[in-house]
Amino acid sequence: MSEKKKIIIAGGGIAGLGAGIYARLAGYEADIYEKNPIAGGQCMGWSRKGCHIDNCIHWLTGTKKGTALRRVWETVGALEEHTKFADCDSFYTSIAGDSHVTLWKDLERTEAEFLQLSPEDEKEIKKFIEHVKYAAECEIPAEKPMDAMGIGDYIRMGASMADMPKVTKEYGSIDLQEMAGRFKHPALKVLFTDYMPKEYVASSFLVSYAAMASGNGEIPLGGSLAMTNRMVKRFQQLGGILHCNAPVSKILIKNKKAVGIETADKKTVLADYVISSVDTMEMFCNLIGKEYMDEKWQSCYKDTDKYPLFSAVQAAFMVDQSAYDEKGTIFFDCLPFETGGKKVDRISVKSYEYEPEFAPMGKTVLQVNVPQFDKEYLYWKALSKEEYENQKKEAIRVIEERLFAQFPKLRGHMEFLDCWTPITYEKYCNAYHGAYMSFITRKGVKPFRVKGMIKGVKNLYIASQWIMAPGGLPVAVTAGKFAVWRIARKDRGNRH
Ligand SMILES: Cc1cc2nc3c(=O)[nH]c(=O)nc-3n(C[C@H](O)[C@H](O)[C@H](O)COP(=O)(O)OP(=O)(O)OC[C@H]3O[C@@H](n4cnc5c(N)ncnc54)[C@H](O)[C@@H]3O)c2cc1C
């Protein structure tokens, strides 16, 4: 490129940082405008009372060396040569009645324990394990966008995922509720609806567990904030400029072409291209105008039955290690309570014992997660400030009680750190309905996917987890890469 063209990126989450890094690598000037004091968006962590609370990474898909996604994570600096991973041996454990059932990283161990627990489920157990092994092949496109793939790319993809159609055939048209129903043992039934919303298509669950079990879904030590910071460092080392505390109030469109942005403090910044990496509803409603939202977006946002969104009420505690004997993530039944207007009788707690830096010596951080959906978001949203604070306090009180009931040794050894709700994600990231992933893929519903361009507007691209269900970090980072890929291709004289 003789004269450097400039790309402005609105939003500095993983998609925005990914876009910024690939823009610099492709020779563009790149400026990111982020509304918060630090970049990262939902891939975030924060401090309370000498502890670190990690908001995001429960697993990072694409950690296996040699995969296309791992190369992307390395290119953006999220994973460096010396990045270490948490030593976790299980996906999670479900407690149901007297049974403790664990999905181990070691599939043979999972199979053996399941068979011992429920010999009468042998056929389903063996089928499940066999298909998890097949699902380990599943990779999201990370070289170029799917719509740009040619016949050769599809042949290569088909060959590298030869067994994946078996997973889709067996588990792609049922949801997790139905999958659970195939098992006879009550603890196994419960296990399969614990981790992801029961509305999720079952194959998504197999793919997630397979990533973890095959070493392609690990937790980089230091957690979400450390990973974000590595990407910020990479962006800045490449010469990118990150503007924090810099909300974008408008993407400027002139003669059907994006020409720059207006910041909240009324500054106009011109650019050759704009990449929107903010939540897509924020983009449509506030940055470009809802008239640009086409039918596909409209119908998905409107139909919350077909395209539900999920979030959570979460609470973090510092506990004495000596008072907590468990590891990993555990789901358990509890006395029913209401939060966000929803009756809850089962919650999960995750222990961060694998991150000694997250708490003072002898302590560990525990985080409780209570799932919430669109309806609960609306409930929280309708509360006055005072009611909101009161209901949060009540949620904390009840969660503490439920933890003590399940783990009596914790009483007297646990200190509250923080509690956050779907409204927190809305406030902090402008996340639509507080959602932390994109639209849930339900059985029988086509997974949401768009190219990331706006019909009738040139030079505007979307890089966000929202452009491909189910969202998440891999979708976010590749969306950033692909937006720049499209821009560079256009500049080389090819079509969009
Ligand atoms: C509790 C939780 C757990 C998760 N666990 C996992 C996991 O284990 N694995 C996984 O893959 N994914 C996980 N995710 C999802 C993952 O965090 C997201 O998919 C990803 O971070 C989304 O990145 P993004 O850049 O698309 O969006 P965001 O992170 O939302 O980034 C958008 C950015 O735009 C900024 N912004 C918004 N409006 C404006 C404006 N007007 N002007 C300027 N800036 C603006 C926001 O502040 C934000 O920084 C989890 C999310 C949560 C909340």
d(CA 40, CA 42) in angstroms, rounded, equals 6
Q: Spell out the residues 6+ positions from residue 302 whose beta carbon is closer than 8 angstroms to its own.
A: none
Contact 454, 483 (CB under 8 A): no
pLDDT higher than threshold 90 for residue 267: yes
Query: pLDDT value at position 447?
Result: 86
∠ Cα 433 439 443 (to 5°) = 135
Residue 163 binned pLDDT confidence (cut-offs 50, 70, 90): very high
Sign of the four-CA dihedral 480, 485, 488, 489: negative
Contact 205, 172 (CB under 8 A): no
Ligand 1 pocket mutation pick from 261, 436, 440, 462 by most atoms within 8 angstroms of CB: 436
pLDDT higher than threshold 80 for residue 2: no
Determine the topology of domain 6-81+222-305+446-491 in CATH: FAD/NAD(P)-binding domain (3.50.50)
* Residue with more model confidence, 160 or 409: 409
Ligand 1 pocket mutation pick from 14, 42, 243, 428 by most atoms within 8 angstroms of CB: 42
Task: Compute the distance from residue 210 Cα to the ligand 1 centre, in Å.
Answer: 24
Using one digit for the tens of pLDDT, what is the confidence trace for 307-365?
999 999 999 999 999 999 999 999 999 999 999 999 999 999 999 999 999 999 999 99
Nearest to 364 by CA among 420, 402, 322, 315: 322
Query: pLDDT value at position 494?
Result: 66
Residue 440 binned pLDDT confidence (cut-offs 50, 70, 90): confident
Pocket of ligand 1 (CB under 6 A): 10-16, 33-36, 41-43, 55-59, 247-248, 277-279, 282, 429-431, 436-437, 464-465, 471-473, 476
Residue closest via CA to ligand 1's atom 53 equals 436
pLDDT higher than threshold 60 for residue 481: yes
Query: pLDDT value at position 405?
Result: 97
Query: pLDDT value at position 140?
Result: 87
| % pLDDT > 90, the chain | 91
Query: H-type helices in 94-241, by residue range?
Result: 107-117, 122-135, 151-160, 164-171, 176-181, 186-191, 202-213, 223-237
In sequence order, what are the beta bridge partners of 257? 254, 458
Task: Compute the distance from residue 472 Cα to the ligand 1 centre, in Å.
Answer: 8
Using one digit for the tens of pLDDT, what is the confidence trace for 404-419?
999 999 999 999 999 9
Task: Compute the distance from residue 3 Cα to the ligand 1 centre, in Å.
Answer: 33
- The ligand 1 atom nearest the CA atom of 61: 11
pLDDT higher than threshold 70 for residue 158: yes
Query: pLDDT value at position 159?
Result: 86
Query: pLDDT value at position 199?
Result: 87
* Residue with more model confidence, 2 or 386: 386
* Residue with more model confidence, 198 or 457: 457
Query: pLDDT value at position 443?
Result: 84
Residue 160 binned pLDDT confidence (cut-offs 50, 70, 90): confident
Using one digit for the tens of pLDDT, what is the confidence trace for 165-202?
999 999 999 999 999 999 999 999 999 999 988 888 99
Residue 476 burial (CB count, 10 A): 27
Question: What rounded mean pLDDT belongs to the chain?
Answer: 95
Q: Spell out the residues 6+ positions from residue 298 whose beta carbon is closer than 8 angstroms to its own.
A: none
Residue 452 binned pLDDT confidence (cut-offs 50, 70, 90): very high
Q: Spell out the residues 6+ positions from residue 187 whose beta carbon is closer than 8 angstroms to its own.
A: 94, 96, 97, 99, 101, 117, 118
Using one digit for the tens of pLDDT, what is the confidence trace for 113-132?
999 999 999 999 999 999 99
Q: Structural domain boundaries of the chain?
A: 6-81+222-305+446-491, 90-215, 310-434
How confident is the model over 250-267, as a mean pLDDT? 98
Contact 354, 86 (CB under 8 A): yes
∠ Cα 367 371 376 (to 5°) = 130
| % pLDDT > 70, the chain | 99
